[in-house]
Structure 1
């Protein structure tokens, strides 16, 4: 039986770059999750009798909200729900399931790389029928509805057993619990030369993958160990835990430090990798080399033709604006398009759907292609393995040859986390006020060439997205970018991106922070970071 429940709106349900993210106790408030889910449904048209995909990264409160979403989907008129066994679906796997089964859309329950647990982070994101995150016009409509909502609809029904595959009836709607891994693993096998990777591993090539007690554990276990033949134990921390084992499931050099140290040791495995909470990010570390996400995007694009799924070449490359320009040089050499977008995977969707881009990437450890409409951590790892198998060279050798060909973009991101929101916004406002006067200004040997607040003009739908990050470009190709992140749940995160292009191979083995030292100092001077935030140093450097 369907019930209509009276409710009161919350004022804080504005989706960020990847849906609505808040602390678990916020979502546990009366009707909080229900309000947002109903706001999603109220903002959509034409889903009567259609299929909805539901899944998440297994974090705390995942199962409870899945049950609410199932019962509300039934009450609102969906005909079928596909849900991952155990409530599990990695974000890229959810995108693939939406696309493969021609679903109307999907609800992905995740806070990505943010910590999980009773007092940590939770999130709800809506993905549209192409498998990608809802565009801004949809998220704006959801937020508008959330501010006026006065009721939601839900079916009175027993909870669905999420731990056994099979079909159930919830009112007039069918709920099918599916294997969360099978469809995705089949897709990966269609894109990559699994035989070549198997031979590489059988020949003694050692792989280690840290799933960070998060969602990619079952996927990596099935693909890397079972299908590719890596020894048992190659995939670490493979059981998804509601609190990610108490760790922060962000695959960077701070939170995956143990993996980094393993890969820098004299007896290191040949290749190391990790993925994040919901499976859409990746960390690539070869023996004795950390490959930055920006470099990884460029190197994958330059070598993608070695994998069967990309043998015909790339249509184009897309990168987020803060991502380094390394991929631009690859696109230029290949004679294909390069697209610079705002941060947020949703901006790549139109380019992929229109066939303008094949591979996309973000400096925040996200890389993917047109196989789904989300970034995909395990996909990036498998493409690296395919390239290593085809070239029969180490990751270090591939990187050095790449830099010798294209030059090296020294690149780093400095994050100032949980900064007072007023202080962070004041810093950005003051920076904007300075932009017109900066060109021609010198800071030591550095002279500002141009300065702007990045605006994106979508070449497909002609939409314009303003205020996407402040760029300070120096003569000679160096730059600093400032941006407030939309993925945190406490205060504000100020991200500062620092980049220097170095064409001279004799200068390709410098320490990154040393190579960027003068730019780091100037970045602080221009924005008055220490003075305005009270922070002497970043929270995280990647």
Structure 2
């Protein structure tokens, strides 16, 4: 029996760059999940009898939300929902399954790299039939619907067993519980050289992959230790936990410090890698050599032809605006275009669908290609393994050789988290008001060449996205970027990006923060971060 339930709107159900994210207790409010899911369904057309893909990263409240979505999908008229066993399905695997099965779309239950647990974060994101995050016209429609919703529809039925593979009926709909790893692993086999990587491990190559108690554990165990023959124990923290075992599942140098320390020690394996809560981000560290996400994007693009899936070359590269210009230099040498987009993987979708780009990446540890429409952490790790197997060089040698060829982009990001939202908005507005007067001014010996508020004109559909971050460029080629992140759930996160290009190989051995010290100091004084936010130091430096 389908029950129609009267409801009233909740404030603030606006999807950000990666769906709706709030604290778990917010989602646990009566009708909160139901309102948002109904708003998704009300904003879509033509899905009667179609397939919906469903899964999440296993975080706290994942199982309860899955049952709600299943019963509402049955009430809405979907013909089938394919759900990962145990409710587990990484974000890139969701995209893979949507595309392989030609599903109508998918719902991902995750807050990505944000902390989990009863007081942690939760999220709901809708992905379209191409496999990528819903574009803005759909998320805008969903948000508009959340503000007017007066009822939702849900099937009255017992909960579905999502821990047993197979099919069961739910009203007139079929629920298929499937292996969340199989389709993804099959796709990876077509992209990278499994035989070469297997031989690499057989010849003594060592690795540690930290799954951070998050969703990529089952994938890494199956692919790295199972299919590729990495030694047992290569994958650590490989069992997904609802609270990520009390840790923060963000693969950066703060939350993956143990991995970094290991790779900088005498006991270091050849490669260290990690992925985040929902499996779409990655961390790459060689023995004694951290690889920044911006550099990793450029190096994967420069070496992509070594992997079977990209042996014919790549059509183009796309990077988010705050990501360093390292990829631009690779694109220039390859004779292809490097597209600069706003932050948010959905902006890469049109470029990938149109065949304009093949490799995409963001400085926030997201890298991917046209094999899916999400960033893909484990894919990036497998690409690095393929490159290492083909070149028979260390990570450090590959990185340093790349810098000699292309120059080095010294780059860092300083995050000021949970800043008072009004103070953060005031800082950004004050910067925007100064844009016209900044060119020509000299700060600490650095002359401003130009300053703007980044706008993106999509070359495929002509859409325009504005206010994507304030950029200040200097005459020596350096730049500082300021933007507010859309991935947090409390206050505002002010991200400050600092970059300087160094073509001289003799100056490539500097420590990053030291090489950027003058720009770092200027990045704080220029908008008066201490005075406006009360913060004198960032919470996270990457």
TM-score bracket, shorter-length normalisation: over 0.9
Q: How do 1:375-524 residues align onto structure 2 when only pairs under 5 Å count? A: 375-524=375-524
Q: Hey, what's the Cα distance between the residues in 1 that align with 2:526 and 2:445?
A: 15
Which secondary structure state, in structure 1, belongs to the residue aligned with residue 526 of structure 2?
Answer: helix
Distance 2:107 2:154 in 1: 16
More deviation, 373-382/528-537? 528-537
**SS of equivalent to 1:527:** coil
Aligned pair 1:130/2:130, yes or no? Answer: yes
Partner Cα distance (2:449, 2:279) in 1: 39
Can you list the C-alpha shifts for 1:22-43, whole angstroms capped at 9, x where unaligned? 0000001110000000000000
Give the Cα–Cα distance (whole angstroms) in 1 for the partners of residues 401 and 24 of structure 2.
47
Residue 339 (structure 1) aligned with residue 369 (structure 2): no
Q: 2:47 is matched with which residue?
A: 47
Where do 1:156-171 residues align within 5 Å?
156-171=156-171
Comparing 491-500 and 436-445, the one that deviates more? 436-445
Structure 1's unaligned 5+ residue stretches are none
**What's the offset of the Cα at 1:339?**
0.2
Distance in 2, matches of 1:441 and 1:449, equals 8
Q: Tell me the residue number matched to 2:277.
A: 277
Structure 1 residue 540 displacement after superposition: 0.2
CA distance in structure 1 between the partners assigned to 2:163 and 2:361 by the alignment: 34
Distance between the aligned counterparts of 1:476 and 1:352, measured in 2?
A: 33
Correspondence for 1:301: 301
TM-score (ref. length: structure 1): 1.00
Alignment-derived partner of residue 255 in structure 2: 255
Q: 1:115 matched to which residue of 2? A: 115
Secondary structure of 1:222's aligned partner = helix
- Equivalences for residues 206-355 of structure 1 within 5 A: 206-355=206-355
Looking at structure 1, the residues matched to 24 and 149 of structure 2 have their Cα atoms a distance apart, in angstroms, of 21
2:31 matched residue in structure 1: 31
Number of equivalences: 542
Tell me what 2:195 maps to.
195
Deviation at 1:190, TM superposition (A): 0.8
Question: 1:372 matched to which residue of 2?
Answer: 372
- 1:536 Cα deviation after fit: 1.1
Write the distance in 2 (CA, Å) between the matches of 1:509 and 1:133. Answer: 39
SS in 2 for 1:513: helix
In the TM superposition, residue 444 of structure 1 has moved relative to its aligned partner by: 2.4
Give deviations 1:415-459, integer Å, cap 9, x for gaps. Answer: 000000010000000000111000001112211001000000000
CA distance in 2, matches of 1:428, 1:445: 24
3-state SS of the aligned residue for 1:471?
strand
Deviates further, 3-12 or 319-328: 3-12
What is aligned with 1:63?
63
Structure-2 separation of matches of 1:345 and 1:150: 32
CA distance in 2 between partners of 1:443 and 1:52 (Å)? 54
Which residue number in structure 2 is paired with residue 529 of structure 1? 529
Partners of 2:415 and 2:437 in 1: CA distance = 26
Q: Distance in 2 between matches of 1:483 and 1:444?
A: 22
Which whole-Å deviations, capped at 9, do the CAs of 1:362-408 have from their partners, x for residues lacking one?
A: 00000000000000000000000000000000000000000000000
Cα deviation, residue 267, structure 1: 2.3
SS in 1 for 2:66: helix
Q: Report Cα offsets for 1:219-273 as digits up to 9, x if no partner.
A: 0000000011011100000000000000000000000000000000012100000
Coordinate RMSD, CA, aligned: 0.4
Q: Distance in 2 between matches of 1:320 and 1:48?
A: 36
Give ranges in structure 2 of 5+ residues lacking alignment: none
**d(CA) in 2 for partners of 1:260 and 1:338?**
30
**Does the alignment pair 1:173 with 2:176?**
no
Between the aligned partners of 1:146 and 1:11, the Cα distance in structure 2 is: 8
Between 80-89 and 519-528, the greater mean CA deviation after superposition: 519-528
Distance 2:481 2:66 in 1: 38
What is residue 14 of structure 2 aligned with on the other side?
14
> Hey, what does 1:185 align to over in structure 2?
185
After TM superposition, the structure 1 stretch with the greater mean CA deviation from structure 2, 6-15 or 371-380, is 6-15
In 2, distance between residues paired with 1:525 and 1:118? 38
Using the size of structure 2 for normalisation, the TM-score is 1.00
Partners of 1:531 and 1:5 in 2: how far apart?
A: 49
> How many angstroms does 1:476 deviate by?
1.9
- Residue 181 of structure 1 and its aligned partner are, at CA, apart by 0.3
Q: Find the aligned partners of 1:380 and 1:476 in 2 and give their Cα distance.
A: 32
Greater Cα offset, 243-252 or 436-445: 436-445
Q: 1:11: how far off? A: 1.5
Residue equivalent to 2:82: 82
Q: Corresponding residue for 2:356?
A: 356
What stretches of structure 1 move > 3 A for 4+ residues in a row? Answer: none
Render the CA deviation track for 1:308-330: whole Å, top value 9, x for unaligned.
00000000000000000000000
Equivalents in 2 of 1:512, 1:285: separation in Å? 15
For 1:226 and 1:96, the matched residues in 2 are separated by: 20
